[in-house]
Amino acid sequence: MSAILPGAVIGIIGGGQLGRMFCMAARRMGYRTLVWTGGLEAPAMVVADEAIDLPFDSKEALADFVSRADIATVEFENIPRETLEAVGSEIPIHPSADAVAISQNREREKNFLRTNGIPCADFEVVSNAEELATAIKHIGTPAVLKTADFGYDGKGQRKLEGGEDPAEVWTAFEGGRAVLEAFIPFERELSVMVARDASGKIATYDPAENRHRHHILDVSIVPARVSDEVAEEARRIASDLAEAIDYRGIMGVEFFQLPDGTLLVNEMAPRPHNSGHHTLDACATSQFEQQVRAVCGLPLGSTRLLSPVVMLNLLGDMWPAEETAPDWLPIFADQESFLHLYGKRRAIGRRKMGHANITGSSIENCMERAEALKAELLEKGR
């Protein structure tokens, strides 16, 4: 396929903060953007050139979208496969419906990893209390029961310590299909952003070391504090995964690192990723520009890290009230910190409202400043 050059219209399915930052990168590069929101709150609409604010199952929206976009991509994975396939039958879409569908569902994702020899935690798929009881016997405890569909940021999960009644657990879990995974006593969590272009060329970013707060990403530390061998292995596995799925675009691959250095893939995200936000200020090419390049058939950009960096997630509990923003002066006063807000109207619970990239001469320096900023924001928050 020949390259889609600036001036063309890129259609983005989904209108959240990832779509917003994608639109901003595409606009800087000279592209026009069309956002299909799915009828959800859509901060991307403010920066997109055009928007379709209708549900993903709307035939009217589908016809409008494919008539106005030259090429399409996705902003998040929980989009009906039928919608992705319908778009793909009319205009090019990257990543493909098949690639996105694998990541939509833990059962498909885990089976894909196992089939392709990608290291992951031991697991069994269960669909009732009896199968759960059998899986517990095979895998043992502790273990983690996860819904097959629509789980993220720790939602749709329950840790089993041992001694639980499988029937009671299953009833409380509200049925459906689920995956029981062996609990991994990991040393740290890592992630790698990997991009693959139209010709199959792959580029990987430095691994990020991720810490979570209330099951939501809190900080990403780049470069991760791991050996060169572990970093290279993470890049290799992420590349192998992109090859196996015949991927086109950018993808986040999350890992558990065991105490002996072994890496297990936890999950993958077929899109830009929260742990890749540092690339906006600390890499030669941001993950969003890289997505534009890969989708449009352009050469991939350099993934070179320009500076050590800590990405600090700004969650809703840092807001004094739902519609009252924090005092951002401390971030602006730090001359090597960069504020990114997502334009969301209300800070509900621990909703992702923005992030700050703290760059500096060393990881230790960046961490110290990031922790001080976080403490100040939480103290003044709710």
* Domain-ending residue, one of 182, 200, 228: 182
Q: 228 and 355, same structural domain?
A: yes
What CATH number should be reported for the domain holding residue 203?
Answer: 3.30.470.20
Q: 193 and 267, same structural domain?
A: yes
277 carries a ligand binding annotation: no
Q: Residue range 224-231: average pLDDT?
A: 98
Q: Residue range 363-370: average pLDDT?
A: 98
Residue 253 lies in a domain: yes
Q: Residue range 239-266: average pLDDT?
A: 97
Lowest mean pLDDT among 48-62, 154-168, 366-380: 154-168
13 carries a ligand binding annotation: no
Q: How confident is the model at residue 7 (pLDDT cuts 50, 70, 90)?
A: very high
Q: 365 and 337, same structural domain?
A: yes
Structural domain total, the chain:
3
104 carries a ligand binding annotation: no
Q: 239 and 146, same structural domain?
A: no
205 carries a ligand binding annotation: no
What CATH number should be reported for the domain holding residue 60?
Answer: 3.40.50.20
Q: 175 and 193, same structural domain?
A: no
189 carries a ligand binding annotation: yes
105 carries a ligand binding annotation: no
* pLDDT score of 219: 98
Tens digit of pLDDT for each residue in 315-334? 999 999 999 999 999 999 99
Whether the predicted pLDDT of 151 surpasses 60: no
Tens digit of pLDDT for each residue in 69-102? 999 999 999 999 999 999 999 999 999 999 999 9
Residue 104 lies in a domain: no
The distance from CA 103 to its chain's CA centroid, rounded to whole angstroms, is 11
233 carries a ligand binding annotation: no
Residue 111 lies in a domain: no
* pLDDT score of 292: 98
| Residue 44 per-residue DSSP state | G
Q: Which domain holds residue 85?
A: 9-93
Q: 133 and 165, same structural domain?
A: yes
* Residues linked to residue 35 through DSSP beta bridges, in sequence order: 12, 51
Q: 355 and 218, same structural domain?
A: yes
39 carries a ligand binding annotation: no
218 carries a ligand binding annotation: no
Q: Residue range 207-231: average pLDDT?
A: 96
Q: Would you say 350 and 214 are in contact if contact means Cβ atoms under 8 Å apart?
A: yes
Q: Residue range 237-258: average pLDDT?
A: 98
| Torsion angle of C-alpha atoms 40, 251, 294, 24, degrees rounded to 10 | 40
146 carries a ligand binding annotation: yes
Q: How confident is the model at residue 156 (pLDDT cuts 50, 70, 90)?
A: confident
* pLDDT score of 150: 62
Residue 98 lies in a domain: no
Backbone angles phi, psi at 262, to 5 degrees: -60, 140
More confident site: 1 or 269: 269
155 carries a ligand binding annotation: yes
* Residues linked to residue 192 through DSSP beta bridges, in sequence order: 253
Whether the predicted pLDDT of 174 surpasses 80: no
376 carries a ligand binding annotation: no
Measured between alpha carbons, how far is 87 from 81 in angstroms, rounded to an integer? 10
What CATH number should be reported for the domain holding residue 151?
Answer: 3.30.1490.20
380 carries a ligand binding annotation: no
Tens digit of pLDDT for each residue in 97-128? 999 999 999 999 999 999 999 999 999 999 99
Tens digit of pLDDT for each residue in 294-310? 999 999 999 999 999 99
* pLDDT score of 233: 98
Mean pLDDT, the chain, integer: 95
Tens digit of pLDDT for each residue in 18-75? 999 999 999 999 999 999 999 988 999 999 999 999 999 999 999 999 999 999 999 9
Q: 361 and 339, same structural domain?
A: yes
* pLDDT score of 48: 98
Q: 71 and 13, same structural domain?
A: yes
HEC letters along 61-104: HHHHHHHHCCEEEECCCCCCHHHHHHHHCCCCECCCHHHHHHHH
181 carries a ligand binding annotation: yes
* pLDDT score of 148: 87
Q: 344 and 219, same structural domain?
A: yes
164 carries a ligand binding annotation: no
Which residues, at least 6 apart from 339, have a Cβ–Cβ distance to it below 8 Å? 328, 331, 332, 354, 356
Q: 315 and 251, same structural domain?
A: yes
The distance from CA 38 to its chain's CA centroid, rounded to whole angstroms, is 19
